[in-house]
Amino acid sequence: MSRLMTGSHRKSKYIMNIENKKTDIQKEEFSLNNSAIFNIPNRITLSRLFLAVVFFVFLTYRYFNVAFIIFLVAAATDWLDGYLARKWELSTDLGRLVDPFVDKVIICGAFIIFVHLANEIIAPWMVITIVAREFLVSSIRGFSESKGVKFASNIWGKTKMFIQSWTICAILLYYAHFENISWAEYMVSAFLWITIITTIGSGITYVYSAKKTLLAA
């Protein structure tokens, strides 16, 4: 009887050890899935980087309709990752840094390719202005963060991003369906000038907002 009870006790202890190991594994998986790198909003942000590469390929080979759809999906993920991060309280420093970086990749990449594909409606200096502004703001953000000062996006930066996205969509639709139509070309040109103005203006607001940090350097 004593041996039987001892065997039963060992078996129960063995089962408990297995259950504890399962619990530990589940906790590790939960921690991994909810870490700064692997939470859902950040995964969506990183997936947009992959979409950017696919978008560039189709744009380069002048598949404007396909590129337009991919760009819309990428723009939707830009809204979705921020919405989910706020709703589920999963905002992280990583997401705050990676999200604008991915935005800059897809926006600057699109305009750089347009210099080759759409040189009759977009001048090189326009693209240089857009890219230079992004480098400037990224440099200010990096410097501010190194000083322990958070550098979040403001309403002007978000407005700039919105207008740039609309301009890219307008250019894609122009070459897909309205090329060489005068009114469409004038409309795209208007979008481009609005983009340049808001790009410069938003850059100035970021420099102004960081002036204390910059002057204290």
* 182-209 and 155-173 helices, crossing angle to 10°: 160
Number of helices and strands in the chain (H, E): 8, 0
Q: Does domain 39-215 have CATH number 1.20.120.1760?
A: yes
pLDDT tens by residue, the chain, 217 residues: 545 445 555 555 545 555 555 555 444 444 444 455 678 888 999 999 999 999 999 999 999 999 999 999 999 998 898 888 888 888 887 778 888 899 999 999 999 999 999 988 999 999 999 999 999 999 998 898 888 888 877 899 989 999 999 999 999 999 999 998 999 999 999 999 999 999 999 999 999 988 888 888 6
Tell me phi and psi for residue 88, to 5 degrees.
Answer: -95, 5
Sign of the C-alpha dihedral, residues 104, 105, 107, 111?
Answer: positive
Q: Residue ranges of the domains in the chain?
A: 1-33, 39-215
Alpha-carbon radius of gyration of the chain: 25
d(CA 90, CA 35): 9
Question: Which among 81, 14, 16 has a CA at the least distance from the CA of 48?
Answer: 81
